[in-house]
Amino acid sequence: MNYIRHLEGFYLRLAEDGRLTPFHVSLYLALFRQWNQNRFRNPFPISREELMFFSRIGSVNTYSRCIKQLDEWGYICYKPSFSPNTGSQVSCIRFDKAGDKANDKGADRGTDNAGETSYINITNSIKDNKQSPSKKWKNGEGKNGKKDNHYHVSGDKDFSEPL
């Protein structure tokens, strides 16, 4: 799965399809984000609340209409769940290669033809990547070892006095 080619394919199809509104586009991009987080596996579970938040759709009716139309028009395969215990499932149609609808039957496992993974990894641990500041910066000292006074105020203020 090639991230950039897929988006380019989507935008090419978007330019030709006059039925799509900004609601459809933003919902599709929210679904694409969710698909990316699931490492491009089809089908993947969706959350209506999360998709509505990321697509900035405020009405459940608009959300339902748009997701059903995206399914009808061949952008996604939507399998709604009417059970509160199991979530709905979506499979995204690949637009990164020619004949995408015929080739995508849900067997994509997140690798392109060369076998390289092309998803964007957003699941990095923040703790592992965070650099701890040196002790000087923690104590309020600057590069020269002296305490920096960024606000240019005196340190001898009596805070018990009224303003």
DSSP, collapsed to helix, strand or coil, labels residue 44 as strand
| Torsion over CA: 33, 34, 37, 41 (sign) | negative
Tell me what the mean pLDDT of segment 136-156 comes to.
Answer: 53
Q: Where exactly are the structural domains of the chain?
A: 3-103
- Global model pTM greater than 0.85: no
Reported CATH class of domain 3-103: mainly alpha
d(CA 24, CA 17): 11
> What does the pLDDT read at residue 146?
56
Q: CA angle 83-93-26, nearest 5°?
A: 75
In this predicted structure, the answer to whether residue 52 has a pLDDT above a threshold of 70 is yes
